[in-house]
Structure 1
């Protein structure tokens, strides 16, 4: 629940009411559904902590916020069993900043009560980011064999894995695709199947981009063929691309899959295929998630780095290198180049 204002809204004419409704729709479209859910949960967390301390949450007080993030870092915030990571604290702070801005009372994040405390938290608790294991090309082939090609659900999941890997897509991007352009209100892109491959038109974090996905060298591992089979047998020609399977597994329903399905799918298939079998089972399960597909393409594609960067939609080569789990890190040896 977001903070409420005490100001009375100005009465609007029916015409302006219609514009106001459209404005609310545009404001909602400014951030993804996942972001809005996370921000709402963070606001509830903050409001609960304020109530426990006998504090008011409707006024953006930097000192109160500074105490709150201190409680998060120490594990003393509402309902926390352990200290929050730096990334979680920064997200919670972004959520508060967004919520107060919606109310028209922005929070001053540069205030010393916030900025200095946050800098100290970063210095004291900051750690390198924990990266998910990359699903490499050879891993994906084995994972596909764990899915039943004789069921509609299995065919759908094959298409999800192949499209997600070949497109280097985030899990939210995979499930947000439609069959065609402008078919649903919640769609964030669509696919076009061509003779040599398919185009994925996607509205991502940095705007619209077009992703080219070529056909595979074999039918069983071709993302285009896998998608065509799913669409044909699922009798899907309009609306969400990937949907829940209903009717005892024999029909494609109308409801769009959530991004959690992609994360569970990657995890389950990696476990069933025995990927990273050298690790304990609990550790293996934590290593894989939806992002494993995106990192897998970046790590497997033996092409010039700039092509991978463009495909993933990264603004810098440095960001692309973070995704490349398997690469020649010492191909350029500056030590020897300097004469040592």
Structure 2
């Protein structure tokens, strides 16, 4: 690969590149489309998958096709009026409510951490090194992901070389590139050392036990306790967390995903008096809309707010009617 190709390659995040390649392959190989595509073929592709793919997936497929054509020097067929009209029609006829990951609550965080600590002790006592390593790693992933509100791909891309620990105070995690860093300036996240459920202590315990001196922080562990050389794949985080929550006895583990840690922290912070600006700065959201997608109000049905404004006589009457 030439230097020019290296720089072009580095301009796109690995996750984005992989998803775009998959989308183009679906259009060309699985659906049987031809590249460069015509506006008619793109419109038919959307129509053929309107009932089987979500709106967000179709939007991502269009972005991938647009990127392919622009990169190859061809006109972008996805911007044609007929394609846009078909897409709007699909949105009208197949509306879909956005699925959001279930937030991990504080009591659940405590329960899973307690289970992990017991599992670590049991594995250590019985000499099961592989299990001990996995449990210690999972505890670090859980606590760091929750208290920093990290995305799944940020957890899996964390590099030991970019982590600076200050004993008793906290640690700094640097990412050369994040999802919201459009200018590629790099982002630093401060992680606090806490008196309980401490993410810094959990991270340091994992790094020390695994004897990791550089490269990816979180790696695979085989049954014999051997560490992989590469970082965990972002797609592996969801099954890892669901398996962990199942083992720890958390209800409905399949409703959780990598975003559950991020949403869980956002809801905990909002419920404990963090204003939206502080929360946005801490987590790294650039706009209010992004933040509000993660935060559920303490009174989601606004019942208390409405009843607090009702006349006292109405509330008294309602209470009297409800008595047996």
TM superposition score category, shorter chain reference? 0.7 to 0.9
Structure 1 pair 334/191, CA: closer, same or farther in 2 (3 Å)? farther
Of 163, 166, 174, the residue aligned with 1:191 is 163
Of 190, 194, 206, the residue aligned with 1:212 is 190
Work out the CA distance in 1 between the residues paired with 2:303 and 2:277. 16
Superposition map of 1:83-122 within 5 A? 83-122=52-91
Q: Could you tell me how far 1:110 is from its partner in structure 2?
A: 2.8
Work out the CA distance in 2 between the residues paired with 1:71 and 1:49. 12
CA contact 2:151–2:258 (8 Å) conserved in 1: yes
Query: What residue is the counterpart of 1:223 in the other structure?
Result: 199
Superposition map of 1:1-340 within 5 A? 21-48=2-29, 51=32, 57-74=34-51, 83-147=52-116, 148-149=119-120, 150=124, 151-180=132-161, 190-195=162-167, 196-202=169-175, 203-207=177-181, 208-218=186-196, 221-246=197-222, 248-249=224-225, 251-275=226-250, 277=251, 284-301=252-269, 302=272, 303-329=274-300, 330=302
Return the structure number with greater helix share: 2
Partner secondary structure for residue 201 of structure 1: strand
Structure 1 pair 331/222, CA: closer, same or farther in 2 (3 Å)? farther
- Scaled by the length of structure 2, the TM-score of the pair is 0.82
Partner secondary structure for residue 255 of structure 1: strand
Equivalent pairs counted in the alignment come to 289
Work out the CA distance in 2 between the residues paired with 1:271 and 1:326. 27
Partner secondary structure for residue 146 of structure 1: helix
Q: CA RMSD in A?
A: 2.5
Work out the CA distance in 1 between the residues paired with 2:30 and 2:267. 42
- Scaled by the length of structure 1, the TM-score of the pair is 0.78
Moved more, 123-132 or 325-334: 325-334
Q: Could you tell me how far 1:336 is from its partner in structure 2?
A: 8.5
Q: Could you tell me how far 1:247 is from its partner in structure 2?
A: 7.1
Task: Note the residue ranges of structure 2 that are not aligned, 5 or more in a row.
Answer: 125-131, 312-324
Work out the CA distance in 2 between the residues paired with 1:110 and 1:45. 20
Q: Could you tell me how far 1:263 is from its partner in structure 2?
A: 1.2
Work out the CA distance in 2 between the residues paired with 1:61 and 1:127. 28
Work out the CA distance in 2 between the residues paired with 1:66 and 1:246. 46
Structure 1 pair 230/336, CA: closer, same or farther in 2 (3 Å)? closer
Q: Could you tell me how far 1:254 is from its partner in structure 2?
A: 2.1
Q: Could you tell me how far 1:120 is from its partner in structure 2?
A: 0.8
Task: Note the residue ranges of structure 1 that are not aligned, 5 or more in a row.
Answer: 1-19, 75-82, 181-189, 278-283
Q: Could you tell me how far 1:153 is from its partner in structure 2?
A: 1.4
